[in-house]
Amino acid sequence: MGGDQGPHVTISAALMAVNHLPHLHLILCGDSSVIAEQLEKQHFSAHPQISFIHASQVVEMDDKPAQAIRGKKDSSMRKAIDLVKEGKAQACVSSGNTGALLSIAHYVLKTIPGVERPALISALPTHDPEKNVFLLDLGANVFCDSNILYQFGLMGSVLAGEVDNIDEPKVALLNMGAEDIKGSDTIKQAAAQLKENPDINYVGFVEGNDIFNDKADVIVCDGFVGNVALKTCEGVALMVASKLQQNLESSFFRRILSKILTLPVKKLYKSMNPDQYNGASLIGLRGIVVKSHGNANSHAIFAALMEAVKEVERQVPEKIQHKLEQRLLHRP
């Protein structure tokens, strides 16, 4: 029940989700009096698909991960993850403090055997309106050795295959050049490991400008690089939109005409709207955890809930585990 916009957006997203999926059951974790008050405000004293669990603590946005693990055992975030651990929930969705969520989830759920570190992964739009690209890691791990990058490639490949139904997803490493000699030893070793695995359709190095074309379905990098790339995307998209607005409004005549053109511009915005791409998944854990933007609105949280539902239906953690076991069995 975190997030910058307050609990009412979470409640309204929850109501949207249960109305959309009659088989979905949501357990809201947080201050029960606040949840009840918000439900009432939205004209529901109770909903058959929604239950709630009281939490007396809140993980604040500036809580350090270690603080959150040790000192916030009765927080809404911890309780939600505990429910997944206990099998009482099949997935956890949170828009709270990312670092704390990562640490608590890692601490409580543990990683899948063979996975050293969980990763944050999200879908981004591409030139092709029908196609997304999955980028990982988006900030869970500042540094990654070649083994970890290799595991990210494997996990990303499973997620893209299962969630987006891509046959043999093209997996690439994000580098500062497409040539084999470019980049660090770590990335070159990761490339060799990915190339070696016949289960992974490894397509080589790609550069920042390749994220949005058809070169890859899954792009792997360390969390620092992924975080910068993701936020740079957001920054450029915002700047282009604001510059276009300025230019469209720069004369009266065009201002009138621009009104007629708001539809395609809105359509463009919608096709690139971060809300519909909301929901970075924390993969590599023995359970499903989806991170929503801190400042997500109800539509964005709804998108994150739907992402979690998809991962439950497609049994993503089980499939990652299966692929890893297969790989270990096949290893010479």
The H or E element spanning position 137 is none
Question: Cα torsion at 88, 311, 299, 33 (round to 10°)?
Answer: 10
Counting contacts by CB under 8 A, is residue 223 touching its own copies?
yes
Instruction: Verify binding: residue 23, its own copies, rule CB under 8 A.
Output: no
The CA radius of gyration of the chain, in Å to the nearest whole number, is 21
CB of 322 vs its own copies, minimal distance in Å: 32
In one-letter notation, the amino acid at residue 186 is: T
Contact 105, 77 (CB under 8 A): no
At its nearest, how many Å lie between its own copies and the CB of residue 219? 10
When asked if residue 295 is in the footprint of its own copies (CB under 8 A), the reply is no
Q: Does 329 bind its own copies (CB under 8 A)?
A: no
Q: Which one of 62, 86, 130, 167 is in contact with its own copies (CB under 8 A)?
A: 62
CA 92 vs CA 85, 186, 236, 295, 306: distances in Å:
10, 33, 31, 18, 12
If one asks whether residue 264 binds its own copies (CB under 8 A), the answer comes out as: yes
Q: How far is the CB of 238 from its own copies (least distance, A)?
A: 7
The residue from 23, 87, 167, 181 that contacts its own copies (CB under 8 A) is 181
Q: What's the token pair of residue 100?
A: 């704390």
Residues 105-144 that bind its own copies (CB under 8 A): 125-127, 129, 139, 142-143
Among 222, 188, 219, 229, which Cα is nearest to 119's?
222
| Residue 330 interacts with its own copies (CB under 8 A): yes or no | no
236: Cβ contacts below 8 Å, ≥ 6 apart: none
Determine, following the binding rule CB under 8 A, whether residue 207 of this chain makes contact with its own copies: yes
Judged by the rule CB under 8 A, the positions of this chain that interact with its own copies are: 62, 64, 125-127, 129, 139, 142-143, 174, 176-177, 179, 181, 183-184, 207-213, 221, 223-225, 227-244, 246-248, 250, 254, 257-258, 260-261, 263-265, 267-268, 271-272
